[in-house]
């Protein structure tokens, strides 16, 4: 067994690898960019080496810096994690050329599976079923159009060197093909430096089934059963589970055997995932499940396989890289229960899933689940990397139990002020098709707004929170957007609401967090207001995004007209002017020039003119 290991990655996967290595008595070395100097993975490792600026292409993606860090720290081996350089055959070669142990498949295997057309040709030769399509060398638009016409629409155009949903277009009919091909090629060239494509039959009720495989340096390969990753948004996995719902023993045996043949065809060593697409319109059947591609690395969703098999896949990686045989034979592997994993992201579902950055002032995530994370309370979610906060994994005797446990953990999450998709995940877990195990990859796109979490807490939750701030005895008549009376005003994530008839003693800035349905809101006691016109929330001007105030054009007490410029915010290198929503008076000015403001912060409050 190796004695020291450098992890060429960051975040939760680096922490995950470090924990297993430490249990095995292996010294660990982390690498970190300027943005990650205080990150959890840096503190968990025995040693850590800085590798440059926050931008990944100048740090985590520079193979020379990674290898130099291994040498300077005395590491014997490099584990690439996933993402970054994990499927880069050139990096694997450079690691080996530097006299270091590469924890992963050979460069030859990575290359063999890296190009989708060549990989499919190998699979056909190995007797692995592949999706009907065209993989030919003739890339002329005329030939590609003819092949698509022959396959029958809808078809999928895919970049040969693609991945992560990039360089992929669905085409519904012959008349749409030329434009879709041109668009796909542009994106493929920009993303991968290669504009070649292949054509596949588009499956109308697709399920994403993948099989975990492992090979050793002695020529043996086993599978560790399948996972279902069908719940996706824009080709990105959202919730994964193992085993796959609706998979009978005979179908499982055939699909897993095909995955083993795929791995054997490229002399595979280490952890890999063979991905299949299934036509689930009539249930899962081996004759309607086809090879898509192989990921030559450990997957984000590997914990669900660990849960149902009782093995540590990172330990297997390290043992196999050290030359040991596979820890178990195929007949020693079995499925125990059901596991589910949700990817908890720092993103706002109600704003198009835009990433949410900032400090995790509150990060409470606990319950009957395994939590794999690379952050902790007080950590900063930066704009430089993937916004995943944690993976939440549950394991139970049945699928329903695992699903409900996962929903409960996410439902009770308290994370602030960074926005997350926890509420969206709860909605998805309890969506009827997913609950029944009959989902396909189009479920999220079809359901749309139905999966969005609530915009505001329930009235009961608001009443309880307001009571904590001003006292239960003052809460008679509490409701949102109340008619004009003497009230205590509150800010709910910066938007004004009222507690009618209450008269708190102070106008302090106390605040409480409301956590409900996986969402977290801040309720802040703002001020006592007198009689006025209109709802209290009508004139609240909130910051639409994090940014810096570069101009303020009004002062408290100023009269303003509808459409009049109030202030200017600079964000994402662009200026955003905020204007008055109606005629009125500036009742409160809560910012100043030069202030850094967070998304949703109250900047100005306009009080409507009395009629």
Active site residues: 297
C-alpha 588/C-alpha 566 separation (Å) is 12
Specify whether the CB–CB gap between 518 and 413 falls below 8 A. Answer: yes
**Crossing angle between the packed helical segments 302-309 and 313-321, to the nearest 10 degrees:** 100
Is residue 181 within 8 A of residue 188, CB to CB? The reply is no
Give the pairing of strands 565-571 and 574-579.
antiparallel
Is the CB of residue 204 less than 8 Å from the CB of residue 154? yes
Using CA atoms, how far apart are residues 127 and 472, in angstroms rounded to an integer? 71
Contact 544, 575 (CB under 8 A): no
Q: Are 239 and 392 in contact (CB under 8 A)?
A: no
Residue of 472, 593, 471, 480 whose CA lies nearest to 540: 480
Contact predicate 184/193, CB 8 Å:
no
Residue 362: φ, ψ to 5°:
-130, 130
Residue 6's SS3 state is strand
Residue showing tokens 């680096």: 14
Secondary-structure percent of the chain, ordered helix, strand, coil, rounded to 5 = 30, 30, 40
What contacts 24+ positions apart, CB below 8 Å, involve 578-582? Answer: 578/541, 578/603, 578/604, 580/606, 581/538, 581/539, 581/541, 581/606, 582/538, 582/539, 582/606, 582/608
CB atoms within 10 A of CB 398: 10
Nearest Cα to 117, choosing from 196, 188, 190, 11?
Answer: 196
The alpha carbon torsion through 469, 475, 477, 482 (nearest 10 deg) reads -10
Tokens 């929330």 -> residue: 537
Please count the other Cβ atoms lying within 10 Å of the Cβ belonging to residue 74.
12
Q: Quick one: CA torsion of 61, 67, 72, 76, rounded to 10 degrees?
A: 130
State the number of CA atoms in the 13 A half-sphere of 80 facing the CB: 33
Distance between CA atoms of residues 31 and 8, nearest Å: 6
Cα dist. 561→542, 576, 580 in Å? Answer: 18, 19, 7
| Closest residue by Cα to residue 393 from 339, 353, 352 | 339
Angstrom distance (rounded) from CA 532 to CA 485: 7
Distance CA 268, CA 218 (A): 10
Residue appearing with tokens 């319109």: 281
Neighbours of 403 (CB within 10 A): 21
Q: 3-state class of 309 per DSSP? A: helix
| Terminal alpha carbon distance of the chain | 81
């Amino acid at each position: 067994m190796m004695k020291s290991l450098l992890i060429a990655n960051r975040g939760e996967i680096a922490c995950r690898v470090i924990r297993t290595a430490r249990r095995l008595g292996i010294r660990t070395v982390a690498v970190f960019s300027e943005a990650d100097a205080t990150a959890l993975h840096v503190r968990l490792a025995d040693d850590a080496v800085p590798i440059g600026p926050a931008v990944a292409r100048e740090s985590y993606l520079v193979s020379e810096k990674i290898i130099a860090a291994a040498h300077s720290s005395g590491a014997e081996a490099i584990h690439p994690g996933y993402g970054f350089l994990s499927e880069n055959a050139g990096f694997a070669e450079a690691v080996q050329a530097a006299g270091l142990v590469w924890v992963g498949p050979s460069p030859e295997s990575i290359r063999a599976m890296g190009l989708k057309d060549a990989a499919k040709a190998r699979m056909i030769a190995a007797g692995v079923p592949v999706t009907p399509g065209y993989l030919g060398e003739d890339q002329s638009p005329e030939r590609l159009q003819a092949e698509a016409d022959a396959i029958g629409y809808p078809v999928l155009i895919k970049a040969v060197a693609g991945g992560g949903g990039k360089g992929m277009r669905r085409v519904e009919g012959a008349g749409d093909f030329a434009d879709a091909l041109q668009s796909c090629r542009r994106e493929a060239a920009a993303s991968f430096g290669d504009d070649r494509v292949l054509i596949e039959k588009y499956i109308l009720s697709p399920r994403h089934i993948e099989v975990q495989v492992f090979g050793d340096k002695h020529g043996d390969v086993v599978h560790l059963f399948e996972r279902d990753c069908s719940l996706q948004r824009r080709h990105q996995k959202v919730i994964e589970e193992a085993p796959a719902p609706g998979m009978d023993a005979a179908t499982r045996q055939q699909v897993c055997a095909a995955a083993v043949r795929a791995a054997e065809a490229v002399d595979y060593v280490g952890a890999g995932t063979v991905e299949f697409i299934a036509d689930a319109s009539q249930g899962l059947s081996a004759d309607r499940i086809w090879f898509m591609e192989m990921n030559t690395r450990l997957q984000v969703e590997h914990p669900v396989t660990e849960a149902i098999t009782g093995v540590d896949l990172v330990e297997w990686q390290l043992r196999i890289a050290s030359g040991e045989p596979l820890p178990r034979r195929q007949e020693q592997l079995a499925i125990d229960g059901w596991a589910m994993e949700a990817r908890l992201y720092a993103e706002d579902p109600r704003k198009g899933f835009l990433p949410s950055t900032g400090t995790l002032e509150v990060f409470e995530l606990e319950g009957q689940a395994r939590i794999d994370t690379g952050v902790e309370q007080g950590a900063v979610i930066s704009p430089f990397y993937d916004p995943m906060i944690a993976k939440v994994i549950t394991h139970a005797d049945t699928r329903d139990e695992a699903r409900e446990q996962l929903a409960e953990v996410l439902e009770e999450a308290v994370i602030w002020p960074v926005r997350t998709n926890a509420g969206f995940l709860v909605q998805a877990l309890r969506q009827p098709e997913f609950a029944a195990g009959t989902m396909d990859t189009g479920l999220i796109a079809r359901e749309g707004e139905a999966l969005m979490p609530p915009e505001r807490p329930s009235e009961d939750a608001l009443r309880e929170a307001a009571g904590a701030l001003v006292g239960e005895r003052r809460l008679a008549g509490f409701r949102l957007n109340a008619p004009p009376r003497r009230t205590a005003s509150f800010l709910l994530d910066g938007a004004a609401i009222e507690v009618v008839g209450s008269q708190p003693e102070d106008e302090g800035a106390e605040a409480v967090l409301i956590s409900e349905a996986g969402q977290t809101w801040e309720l802040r006691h703002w001020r006592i207001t007198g009689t006025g016109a209109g709802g209290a929330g009508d004139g609240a001007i909130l910051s639409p995004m994090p940014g810096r105030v570069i101009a303020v054009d009004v002062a408290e007490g100023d009269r303003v007209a509808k459409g009049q410029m109030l202030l200017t915010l600079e964000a994402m290198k662009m200026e955003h002017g905020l204007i008055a929503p109606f005629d009125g008076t500036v009742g409160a000015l809560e910012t100043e020039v030069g202030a850094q403001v967070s998304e949703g912060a109250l900047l100005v409050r306009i009080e409507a003119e009395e009629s």
